[in-house]
Structure 1
C-alpha cells in the first residue's frame, strides 16, 4: 500500500504544479520617479442632493415634520385626537392654521382651541417616526402666543406606538405676544419610531409656530445642526469638494420651484418652505410629504464643506426648469436676475464684511470668507437654449470674478446627440470644466475605463459629476448597491485616475437615502432614524479618495496601460505629502490572480500596507444588520527587493502602499 500512496501523492504534486504553471500571472511596471501629471486636490468629492429625504429627515437633524405648518396641507405630519365617529374630537379642542398674508416667507401658524381642561393633544409623527436613544438629550423650541393667559402649561412627551411615555418636559407660556420658549427632553429608552406628543393644560386659545426638536449631540455640537453619524461618514471620505444643492433640485419642475439660494440664508424661521421636486416624481415611491424647509441652506452647505475639509462647489439655475418636466425657459432678455444671483453668491462666499452679501455671511456667524473657487451654471441642461444662457453667465462672471472656475454641463447622458452637441459647443467656448453624468450597467463601467484616454488634453477638463452602476436599470426601484456594481465602479475609477490630466473632479450620486423614504436607488450611504452605514460603493469611494496621492505615475503591462487585460485594472500614484507609492488594483475576474508589480526608480522601505476590499458573491450588499459585510481589510505587507508579489482575490479591489526611503 505504501508505494502506491507515494505514487498518488507524486502524481497529485505534478498535476498541481502543472495547474500553477498554467495559472494567469501578470507583471506590471511602475515608474516611481516620473510624474505624468499632478492630481487635483478635488479629484474625489461628494455630491449632495436633497433626494431620498437626504436633508429634512436625514442630514439636517430636525425631528419635527412640518414644524412651521407651511406644507401644502398645513397640518400634514400633525395628528389630532379623534372621536369614536372618526372625525376630529372638537369636544376637547381643535387645531387650525391661520394664514398671515403680510408674512411672505412663513405665513402660517397653528391656533389651538382647548375646550376643556382634560388635556387636548397634538402629535407630530416625525420623518417616518423619530429616532431617540436612551439617556440622550433633545432640545425643543417653539414660538407661542397666549393672549388670554388661559393656557397654563404645555406638556411635551416622547411616546411609542403604544403611547408609552419615553421622556417628558413642559413649558409655561407666560407671554400674551409671540415669544420663544425652550425645553429639553431626555429619552428613557431607545426607539426608532417615537412621536412627539404635545398636551395643553387650561381652557382657551393659544397660537403656536416653529415647533422644533433637535438632538443635543450634533456634528461639532452645533446647535440645531447636522446628524453626527452621517457627517462622520462624509468626513471619513476626506472629500476634495462638496457639490450642492443638487442635481435636478437646482432646476425645479418649474422655474417657480427652482432652488433660490437667497431664500435659504438668514434666520431659519424666515426661510420659505418649498415643495421638493422629488415628492411625486416616481410612481414607485410617492412622497406627498416631501418638502424643503431650507434649515439646511447655502450657509450650512458652505459650513459643512469647511467642516469636512472640502472645497465648496455650488450649482445654480441657469434659467431653465428641468427639461424632463416642463423645460420652462426664462427669456434671455429677463435673465439678469439669475446672473445676479450667481454674482451675489460669489460675494456671499468670498466678499468682505463691508460688502452687502459678505455682511449677510458675517451676521450669520462667519466673517471669514469661504474661499469659493468653483461655481456651476446649470445642472443637466442641453441644447442651444443652454449654450446661449451659459454664454451670458460666463461673460458676467468672468468680467467681475476672473479667477472663479466655471463648471458647465453636457446634458444628462454620456453619449448621444445632446452630449455631442453640448461638448462641441462648449469646446468652441473654451469652457473650463464640463460636468458629465453616467448611470449605466456594471459592464459599461468596466468597458469604459478607457473613456478619457483619448480626450483632448487642451480642451475642457472633466467633472465626472454623477455616476453609479445600475444593477437593473436607471431609476429602477430594484437597483441594489451590490458588490458587482461597486468593483465595476472601481475599475472605471482607475481610468479616471489614469487620466488625471483631464479629469479634475469626480463624485458618486446620489449620496444618501432614508431606508423608508427613498425615491431613487442605488445610493452611497443609507440611514434610518437611528443608524447609518456606507454601502460597498462607499468603501470603494473611500479607498480611492483616501489614497488619491499628489502625482500620477505610469503603470503598464508590456508597455501598455492595464485596462481590462485578464480582467485586471490598475492605477498608480505617488503622495508627496506622505512619501508613499500607492498602487490600486482591481480584479474583476471570478478567479484569484497573481500579479507582480515591478517598482522601478525610488528606493522603498520593506514594510508596507495592503488594503483589500472583496466579497465572494456578486450580489452581496452591506445592510443595517451587516453594515461592514463588505469593508476594507488592512494587513502589513513585506516588500522584497523592487518587485511586489500579490495574489489578488477574485472580485477584489486592492491598494498597496509603500513608503519611500
Structure 2
C-alpha cells in the first residue's frame, strides 16, 4: 500500500491547548515575530538520483529482462540455455556484424537439425512480476542465416507452466530486424520467467531481447514514479554521484551514450559493481524533472575518475573533449532546434528547450588537479553561456583541512555555488543545526547535494529521521545560503544493494517510504515562502558530556494559503510543554492543522511487512489564539499550520 498522510478531523480540544494562566510547568517559550523575515529558496528540497542499489536497472526502469543486450562483462549474466534431448546445437556470444558500434555483442545459436529445440530463459531480477489483465511487449532484434524454423515466446510461472505463448515468424533474414509481439497476461504471477523456444535448424542470432510492461511512463515504473511525485521535489540532481566519475575514465558516465534508440545506447559497467543499460538516460532524466516540476541539475565528469578509489586524470592538453561534452549538452537542453544538438532534442520529440540553469562539474573532487580542470570548464561555459550557474564540487569530507581548502579556493576564484555532502551520525547533526548560521552571506551559495544520518547499523530508523529533521530546520533558517538540499541515496532494492540507509525501498511489486522519506515529504509540503523570525527559551541540554538543543525549530509563512508554519523537532524521550506567543499584529483565523511523525521507539522503522509503522498523521485544529501552549511529544517531528487573516 502506498504511504499516505492520514487526516483526522477533530475539534481542537483542551487536552492539547490550555490557557497559560493555569499551566504550572512550561518547559519553553516560543516567540514568533512575523514582522522580520527573509525569503526561502523555492527549490530547497529536491531529490538526488544515482543508479546505486539498482535504482534504475531493476528499479525505476521498467524493463523486465536482465542483460538484454549481452553487453555485461559476463555476457550470459541473467540467461540460461537448455538443449532439448537429442538437439544438436551450440551457442556463443559473437561480435561480427553487430547491431551497431555501441552494441557489439549478441547471442548466436547454430542448430544442426530440427530434431529438438533450444530454450533460452531469463528470470529478470528475482523473477519477472506479471499482472493479470495487463499487456507486455516482447521485442528482439533477430538475424538468421539459412535458418528454417520459428521462435516461441513463453511467459512461465514458478512451476514452469506456460502462462501465455506467442510465435514469431520463421522468415528471418540475414539482416538485423526488430520483431515484437504484445502478450496479454491472463493471471498474476509474482515470480515469472521469460523463455524463448527456438525450433528448426540453421544459424539464428538474437540481441536486445526485451519485455516491457505497457504500463510505464517513458520506460519508468509507475509506482516508483508516484513515490517521487509525492515528494514534490524542487530540483532533480542526476545521474550521480560517484557514478559520474567511474572506477576509471573508461567507465565514467558520458551523457551522449545514453540518448537515442535503446539499441544505440552504449551499456556501461558502473563503479557500484553492475551494468547500466541506460534505458533511462539524460533525455529521460530531463523529462522526469519536467514532469515533477523540478529544476534539473545535471552533474558532469571533470576529467577525473573517482578520487576516493584512486583517480585517473585526463591530461590537461586533452581536456577539450570533456569540456565540449558539457557545452554540447547545454545546447541539447537549451538550444534552438536549428542548432545541431537542439535538432537532436527535437528529433527525440521535445522541441521546447528544457531551460537548464545549473550545471555541476565533478563529484566529491578536491585538490589542485580538480581546481585547474574546473577552471577550464568554468571559463568555457561562462564564455558561451554566462547565465548558467556552475556548481563546484566539495570533497567527500564536510569539515577539516581539505574541506576548508576547497572553500578558500572557491571564494578566491568566483565560484557561484559549492556542492557539500554530509553523511554523519545523528548526534553530529543534532549538534550542528546552526552550521550555516556562520556562513558568509556574500560567499558562494551551497547545494547540500547529499546528506543522511547514519545511525548504528546504518538503518532507516526514526532516530535517523529525527536528526535529519533537526538539521533541516537549520537549512530552512539559512536558505539564503543553502539553495538546494537532497537526501541520498534515493532508492534501494534489497538483495541488490550497495549502500544503506536509503529514502525509498522497493522490490518487484512493493514499495515503501522510510521515516526519512516522510520527513522529506512533510518538510517540502510545508516549506513556506519566507522564514519568520522566532526564538525558543532554555534550549540547551547536556547529554553524556555534549550539549544539544532541547528542541529544534523553524517558522515560515505561506503566502498562497496564509498559513504560519511552525516546525518543531523533539528528538528526546520526554514531552515538552511550550508556550507559543505570536506577535499580535498577526491576525489568526483560529483554523489550522497539525502533522506529527513519531513512534513508540526511536529504533522503529518501516518494512515491507509494516510499511506504515511510521507515517505522518495530520489533525485538523480550531479555536486557538496568538498565545497558546502546546505539548510536543517525545521523539517526534511536528508541523503546525496556523491560518491567518494577515501577517
Tell me the TM-score normalized by structure 2.
0.92
Aligned residue for 2:36, secondary structure, equals: coil
Partner of 1:130: 128
Give the match for residue 30 of structure 2: 28
Partner of 1:166: 163
Q: Distance in 1 between matches of 2:632 and 2:539?
A: 20
Alignment of 1:409 onto 2:405: no
For the Cα contact (< 8 Å) 1:59–1:227, is it kept in 2? yes
**Contact preservation (8 Å) 1:255, 1:328:** yes
Pair 1:185-2:187 in alignment: no
Computed over aligned residues only, the root mean square deviation of the Cα atoms, in angstroms, reads: 2.0
Confirm or deny that 1:278 pairs with 2:275: no
Residue 435 of structure 1 corresponds to 419
2:213 corresponds to 1:212: no
Larger displacement relative to structure 2 (381-390 or 23-32): 23-32
Which residue is equivalent to 2:149? Answer: 151
Aligned residue number for residue 17 of structure 2: none
Please list the CA deviations of residues 84-142 of structure 1 after superposition, one character each: whole Å capped at 9, or x if unmatched.
xxxxx783533322103673201112112344343321001212322222322211111
Alignment size in residue pairs: 616
1:60 corresponds to 2:61: yes
Q: Deviations over 1:586-620 (max 9, x none)?
A: 01110111223222232122110111111111111
Secondary structure of the structure 2 residue equivalent to 1:55 = coil
Question: Matched residues in 2 for 1:172 and 1:595: separation?
Answer: 75
SS state at 1:147 partner: strand
> Is the counterpart of residue 295 in structure 1 residue 279 in structure 2?
yes
Specify the alignment match of 1:120 in structure 2. Answer: 118
* Alignment match of 1:318 (pick from 302, 310, 326): 302
Q: How does 1:183-582 map to 2 (within 5 A)?
A: 183-219=181-217, 222=218, 225-279=219-273, 290-472=274-456, 478-558=457-537, 567-582=550-565
Deviations 1:541-587 (A, max 9, x none): 11111111111111202499999865200001111223221111101
Question: Per-residue CA shift, 1:52-100, capped at 9, x if unaligned?
Answer: 01111101111101111111122211101168xxxxx783533322103
Does 1:597 pair with 2:580?
Answer: yes
The one-character-per-residue Cα deviations of 1:229-263 (angstroms, maximum 9, x if unpaired) are 11100011000000000000000010111000111
* 1:96 and 2:92 matched: yes
1:43 corresponds to: 44
Q: 1:573 to 1:173 in 2, by over 3 A?
A: farther
Matching of residue 111 in structure 1 with residue 113 in structure 2: no
Q: Do the aligned partners of residues 186 and 532 (structure 1) sit closer, same or farther apart at CA in structure 2, a change above 3 Å counting?
A: same
Provide the rounded CA distance (Å) in 2 between the counterparts of 1:311 and 1:390. 23
Deviations along 1:322-345, one digit per CA (max 9) or x if unpaired, are: 012231111222111111111111
Identify the structure with the greater strand proportion: 2
- Mean Cα displacement is larger for which, 257-266 or 130-139? 130-139
Q: Is the alpha carbon distance of 1:644 and 1:376 closer, same or farther for their aligned partners in structure 2, counting shifts above 3 Å?
A: farther
Runs of 5+ unmatched residues, structure 1: 1-19, 84-88, 280-289, 473-477
Aligned partners of 1:151 and 1:206 also within 8 Å: no
Measure, in 2, the Cα distance between the counterparts of 1:382 and 1:215.
43
Between 640-649 and 437-446, report the one with greater CA deviation: 640-649
TM-score when scaled to structure 1? 0.90
Structure 2: which 5+ residue stretches go unaligned? Answer: 1-21
- 1:118–1:611 CA distance, 2 compared to 1 (3 A): same
Once residues 224 and 377 of structure 2 are traced to their aligned partners in structure 1, the CA distance between those partners, rounded to angstroms, is: 35
Deviates more, 1:41-50 or 1:160-169: 160-169
* Counterpart contact for 2:28–2:538, Cα < 8 Å: no
Deviations 1:130-179 (A, max 9, x none): 22223222111111123335123x22222233212233333224341322
Partner of 2:4: none
Compared with structure 1, are the counterparts of its residues 119 and 643 closer, same or farther at alpha carbon in structure 2 (3 Å cutoff)? farther
